[in-house]
Structure 1
Amino acid sequence: MTSPPRTTPPRVPAADRGALRIADRVIAKIAARAAREALGPTRTPAAGAATLPAPHATVTVHHDIARVHVSLHLPYPDDLAARCAAVRRRVVERVEGCASMSVPEVDIDIEHLRPAGAPDAPAGRERRLR
């Protein structure tokens, strides 16, 4: 005796099967990493110069739209506008590519400019106010 042929259920479109939510902090990590990639090495050009802190990002996500805010420490003198434009391009490219989100704006704050060749502050040294 043979069994009747099996019928496969119709395929349900992906959008009808469920939802994907990516946490804001994950998008922020992608954005911070992209900013770091855009800036290149974190050392200033002079020998023994200070290491600049890594970029920090915060993100607000609404549906599939991410608004990104990046804080940077940059060497001085430098072409700040060119650096910021490179960061914006890379952040948009990576967030759209990795998370499939639209990024209409990337706000950048330059938190600190460090002169080329400025040494790091000695470890454990504090400035005390009296």
Structure 2
Amino acid sequence: MPPQRITPAERGETTIADRVVSKIAARAAREALGGVPEGCAPPHAVVVVHHDHARIRISLELDYPTDLGARCGAVRHRVAERVAALAGMEVSEVAVQVERLHSVHTRRADQGRLR
């Protein structure tokens, strides 16, 4: 009697850790911003995964002046798109929290004090 074939869905399960999804989300946020502006901390993501659904909170710093709404919208869109593509998860929420704004004038003043 030949061995019985087991379908792929019955063989096992793939689990993606929250920290992996967090790294994907942070990288996607950097991509959406076009990199990390000088003097800014890189984006940081906190993720809650439940089954195949992810809720994501991204904390980031931006240059000032900038169109905050457009930049945050671009981050939300890119993060949701990349997590869905790379982790195969539905993203139910992407909350963007702007921690700090960095002005070009402030950076110049800070650089002068460091010298």
Which band: TM-score by shorter chain?
Answer: 0.7 to 0.9
What is aligned with 1:11? Answer: 5
Secondary structure of 1:104 counterpart: strand
Task: Identify the match of residue 107 of structure 2 among 103, 119, 130.
Answer: 119
Task: Identify the match of residue 28 of structure 2 among 26, 34, 38.
Answer: 34
What is aligned with 1:90? Answer: 78
Task: Give how far 1:42 is off.
Answer: 2.3
Secondary structure of 2:73 counterpart: helix
TM-score normalised per structure 2: 0.87
Render the CA deviation track for 1:10-60: whole Å, top value 9, x for unaligned.
4322221111111100100000000001000323xxxxxx42111000000
Structure 2: give runs of 5+ residues left out of the alignment.
none
Secondary structure of 1:32 counterpart: helix
RMSD: 1.8
Aligned residues: 111
Structure 1: give runs of 5+ residues left out of the alignment.
1-5, 44-49, 126-130
AA paired with 2:43? P
Q: 1:118 to 1:11 in 2, by over 3 A?
A: farther
Secondary structure of 1:119 counterpart: helix
What is aligned with 1:70? Answer: 58
Of structures 1 and 2, the larger Rg is shown by 1
What is aligned with 2:96? Answer: 108
Q: Percent of aligned positions with the same letter in both sequences?
A: 51
What is aligned with 1:54? Answer: 42
Secondary structure of 1:82 counterpart: helix
Render the CA deviation track for 1:98-120: whole Å, top value 9, x for unaligned.
11000011001000011124327
What is aligned with 1:128? Answer: none
Q: Which structure's residues are more often helix, by fraction?
A: 2
What is aligned with 1:47? Answer: none
Secondary structure of 2:106 counterpart: coil
